[in-house]
Amino acid sequence: MEPLKRLAREMHRRSIWQVLSVYAVGGWIAFSVVQTLTEGLGLPDWFPPFAMVLLIIGLPIVLATAIVQEGLAPPEPPLPGTTHSGDGLDATAAIWDKLFTWKNAIGGGVLAFALWGVIAAAWILFGSGTSSASGARTNPDRTTIAVLPFTSVRTDEDSESFRVGLHDELLTQLFKVGDLRVTSRTSVLEYEGTVKKLGEIGRELGVAVLVEGGVQREGQTVQINVQLIDVATDEHLWAESYTRNLAEANIIRMQGEVVRDIARTLRAVLSPAEETSLDAVPTENPEAYVFYLRGRAREVLRDAEGLLDAEEMLLRAVELDPTFALAYARLGTVHNSINWYGVDRSDERLAKSLASIEKAFALRPDLPEAHVALARYYYQGRLDYEGALRELDLAEAGGAVDAELFTVRGAIERRRGRLDQAIVAWTRALETDPRNPGLLWDFANTLTALRRYEEAERYYDRALDIAPGDWTQYRRKAWNSLAWKGDLDEARRILEAGERSTDSPDVSEQTWSWYEFELLARNPAAALAQALRVGPAWIPIQFRVVYGSGMVGEAYFRMGENGLAEEHFNVARTVLEDRLTESPGDPFVHQALSWIHVRLGGDDEAIRLAERATELLPVSTDAWRGTDLLRDLAAVYAVSNRPQQAIDLLEQLLAMPSRAVSREILRIDPVWDPLREEPGFAALVSER
């Protein structure tokens, strides 16, 4: 026992107990900070154990220092008259005294913590822990979830609309829970009817938990089965069935019950505000609620039939419950979409949109969804970007956190010419909507305008990996390649790959794409073959006015068949002049008609129309579409023998973000042939 007593006395004399206590408290604080940073920065799970290893390594160093330095107190001076036992021992002791000092020990601890910080920063900036090839998180925690599309035994139209609307509404409610990170609807839609395993789906979406659900509807009774599945282990974390009567108001409150059960299972804490939000019901009328769900399901199709169906169902919802504010807000968005997507571009349609939104505010002044609807109205209907951004800020302050907020914000910033800010907003949107091909397309198209072509190609590839049947992606990727490299053969290969991969192509868009490409490649006969497929008809290309006879005339003109070209140009002129009478404020009608006039020899009228188009939609109002109109004006100047005006405009376009103009495009596009002998143009295309 005597050796143990001596050891205890020695540990007491050298303050070893105090050193251990201080080290334990300091280590606990450091480890807590590490855990907080790991969770907050989304670092891999091995970062806290790595910190623990550093703390364990540091323990013997601290103990050795305490022994050599005799604890926390400074060493006592030697007694007078004492002598050392030998020079060798003195030298060794001196070495240990210099090595094991408290200054060195503390410095080593700081360096160890700094090492952890450097590795963490490197991982965030360069490591694979921030995103995978698909943009999904690689180390998700239990609060990252995705709600897969619900299944339904019945496939009639009413049951399908109810199923889709119920899924959409559940996502909306889950977004209100701040502790949960929910993947947006667009990213999960591709998994409807999929045969992929759950683990693969989870990895692609970057989530730890999947929510599966099934809807069974018989008459007025609906049963919803919901379950949570751990992606890593395939373990069922929770399952519940909810049976409700559609004629009773409890069908409306069911969404809040499901959200609470999911949050409780995943240990997500609901704030008082979130509890209140889940308690609130948008309507006490169950029939109105069902029509609202069906309207939401039809709205997301974004085509004419779907939008008009959504309008009808939402009108029915507010007819059944005139106090249904949420339905009014949605109806306002639908009216605006009907205008934006060209189904009905009348001022009356926009007036209906505003009236519905104002009704929603009158019923619920603090409704976040009404602020989002008003933001879309300001942005798309009135080009009032400041007003739109103000409404988005109010929606976010009111608790709206859907990816839609950041998607719309990015689109607005792009129209304002702040393309870098658009990318920031869309990066936020991709965090909860990583497999939205439309969002990826917008991202890539914007990078093309910034002339960051290599990055743009990666985003096009990501979008095509998710939606390989979308022709628009191939068309834009081909244009990006041309603007980047000017390689016509590579662009042709991209378009041909699109033809092989597209399941149900939009024939008119494909025809237009091939027509433009063949003209660019100086193959007017091939372009004519595409134009003849259209005939005297409109091609519905967004933000352009394209009439088939004008296409045929242009192809004949480039083939040298001037008589046939004039014949078809005159047909197109008559139709476009009628269109201009109907829509005197449409810049794209002015642009299309200007090109017809310049080909018919009416240079002055062509210039007047093209300049008027840029006045109706200047870059200062719409930096995205405005640059396209400037490019078209430059082309009219070039063909009308105004070379310097054309070159000045092209120089201006090359100095700003623009998808319409690059030096490689200027080198290969026949439209610019009238400028090739101009020294200013030669200098422009030769610059790097």
Span 14-51, pLDDT tens digits: 556 566 666 666 666 776 776 666 655 555 556 677 66
- Contacts of residue 682, Cβ cutoff 8 Å, sequence gap at least 6: 676
4 pLDDT higher than 70: no
- Delimiting residues of CATH 3.40.50.10610 domain(s) in the chain: 144-280
The Cβ of residue 575 has, within 10 Å, a number of other Cβ atoms equal to 20
Side-chain-side CA neighbours of residue 642 (13 Å): 16
282-400 belongs to which CATH class?
mainly alpha
The predicted model gives 342-358 an average pLDDT of 92
Architecture of 144-280 per CATH?
3-Layer(aba) Sandwich (3.40)
pLDDT of residue 485: 95
Q: Report CA torsion sign: 319, 323, 324, 325.
A: positive
Query: What pLDDT, on a 0 to 100 scale, did the predictor assign at position 82?
Result: 47
The pLDDT value given to residue 65: 63
Residue 332: predicted pLDDT: 97
Residue 240 to residue 388: CA distance in whole angstroms: 41
Half-sphere exposure of 491 (CA within 13 A, CB side): 23
Closest CA to 597 of 560, 626, 635: 635
Q: What is the mean pLDDT of the chain?
A: 84
Q: What is the pLDDT of residues 289-343, one digit of tens each?
A: 889 988 887 887 667 788 999 999 999 999 999 999 999 999 999 999 998 887 8
The two tokens of residue 276 are 């209140």
pTM: 0.70
> What pLDDT digit, counting tens, does each position of 643-681 carry?
999 999 999 999 999 998 999 999 999 999 999 999 999
Concatenating the DSSP letter of every residue in 241-302 gives: EEEEETTSTHHHHHHHHHHHHHHHHTTPPPPHHHHHHHH--S-S-HHHHHHHHHHHHHHTT-
pLDDT of the residue at 129 = 38
Q: Residue type for 148, please?
A: L
Instruction: Specify the higher pLDDT residue, 98 or 211.
Output: 211
Give the C-alpha separation, 651 to 509, whole Å: 30
64 touches 73 (CB < 8 A)? no
Calculated CA dihedral for residues 440, 441, 442, 444, nearest 10 degrees: 80
The number of C-alpha atoms within 13 Å of 258 and in the hemisphere containing its C-beta is 31
DSSP 138: S
DSSP 185-225: HHHHGGGTT----HHHHHHHHT-SEEEEEEEEEETTEEEEE
| Residue that wins the pLDDT comparison between 521 and 342 | 521
C-alpha dihedral over 407, 413, 417, 420, to 10 degrees? Answer: -70
> Residue 216 has what pLDDT?
85
- End-to-end CA distance of the chain: give it in Å, rounded: 85
Query: Among the listed ranges 73-77, 293-297, 464-468, 499-503, which one has the minimum average pLDDT value?
Result: 73-77
Mean pLDDT of 557-569: 97
Closest residue by Cα to residue 120 from 203, 205, 54:
54
Q: What is the mean pLDDT of residues 242-261?
A: 81
Q: What is the mean pLDDT of residues 442-463?
A: 94
Residue 335 gets the label, from left (phi > 0), alpha (psi -120 to 50) or beta, of: alpha
433 within 8 A of 205, measured Cβ to Cβ = no
Residue 375 Rama label (left phi>0; alpha psi -120 to 50; beta): alpha
Distance CA 81, CA 101 (A): 27
% the chain with pLDDT above 90:
47
Enumerate residues 6+ apart whose C-beta is below 8 A from 219: none
Which of these ranges, 85-89, 200-204, 574-578, 604-608, has the smallest mean pLDDT? 85-89
Three-point CA angle 331, 337, 341, nearest 5°: 155
Contact predicate 291/317, CB 8 Å? yes
CA distances from 256 to 72, 142, 391 (A): 58, 20, 26
pLDDT band, residue 192 (cuts 50/70/90): confident
Ranges for all domains in the chain classified under CATH 1.25.40.10: 282-400, 531-686
Q: If DSSP codes are grouped into helix, strand and coil, which group holds residue 310?
A: helix
Let me know: does 573 contact 545? Beta carbons within 8 Å. no
Residue 79: pLDDT band by 50, 70, 90 thresholds?
very low
pLDDT at 222: 83
- Rama region for 71: left / alpha / beta (φ>0; ψ in -120 to 50; rest): left
What percent of the chain is predicted at pLDDT more than 70? Answer: 79
Task: Give pLDDT tens digits for 399-429.
Answer: 776 788 899 999 999 999 999 999 999 998 8
Q: What is the pLDDT of residue 621?
A: 92
- Exposed / middle / buried, residue 582 (Cβ in 10 Å: 0-12, 13-18, 19+): exposed
Specify the range with the lowest mean pLDDT, choosing from 12-21, 309-318, 386-395, 633-642: 12-21
Average pLDDT over residues 375-380: 95
Fold of 531-686: 1.25.40
Instruction: Kindly give the pairing relationship between strand 181-182 and strand 236-245.
Output: unpaired
| pLDDT band at residue 83 using 50, 70 and 90 as cut-offs | very low
Give the model confidence (pLDDT) of 89-144 as tens digits: 455 555 555 555 655 556 555 666 666 566 666 655 554 433 333 444 444 567 88
Nearest to 615 by CA among 636, 602, 629: 629
**Vertex 530, ends 525 and 535: CA angle to 5°?**
115
